[in-house]
Amino acid sequence: MSNDFIHRFEPGNRLEAPPLLLLHGTGGDENDLLPLGKTISPGSALLSPRGKVLEHGMPRFFRRLAEGVFDEDDVQRRADELADFVESARARYGIAAPVALGYSNGANIAAAMLLLRPDVLAGAILLRAMVPLSQPPQADLRDKPVLIVSGKLDPIIPATNSAQLAALLTKAGANVQHPVLPTGHQLSQADLTIGQEWIKAVRFLQADKAAAV
């Protein structure tokens, strides 16, 4: 497979459950988000790559210059590389365009993919995400479902930044929901509950559209 990543793939067993692209945070790996993916969307096929960039030995999906300061050239290159991997993996494993489920650094690379390669993802759940590019391209995200879940007490991501990301994706046409939880950068049970409800709602809308056609 071109542009291959160390990864895990687990086939799905429910046709109505969308495939998930699991994207870990700094220091995680291809195993980290498998339990989260299974909890949020039982029966989904799971594609979980490991980030190729190492920061003090910890895997990430792109380089940063400081906390909250991204190497934007690397963001763009790595987002393209990951998008190519997803397209190859779809052909290899026979899955539909996935919904990205990313946490922190993984959520940021998913947001970059939405802006740079919007056709690769069917939607996204972005947990503790930031604006990945200071001058993003104009993307066509018409009606693409996106869930951004932020923490009001997050010491890493200013509330204005996550709100800017929601506005940016909405302006590009995405159907964005952006709940803000009374928590920090860490995940909580509320993240799981919100993610589960969102996935169920998106499935329902998709089934509705298919029935209408």
Per-residue pLDDT tens over the stretch 132-164: 999 999 999 998 999 999 999 999 999 999 999
Q: Which of 44, 104, 150, 162 is catalytic?
A: 104
Q: Which of 32, 41, 150, 154 is catalytic?
A: 154
Per-residue pLDDT tens over the stretch 44-78: 999 999 999 999 999 999 998 888 789 999 999 99
154 annotated active-site: yes
In this model, does residue 210 exceed pLDDT 50? no
7 annotated active-site: no
- Backbone φ, ψ for residue 97 (5° rounding): -55, 130
88 annotated active-site: no
Q: How far apart are CA 114 and CA 112, in angstroms?
A: 5
Q: How far apart are CA 12 and CA 84, in angstroms?
A: 22
Positive or negative, the Cα torsion across 147, 45, 1, 50? Answer: positive
Q: What is the DSSP letter of 64?
A: E
Per-residue tokens: 143:
């009606």
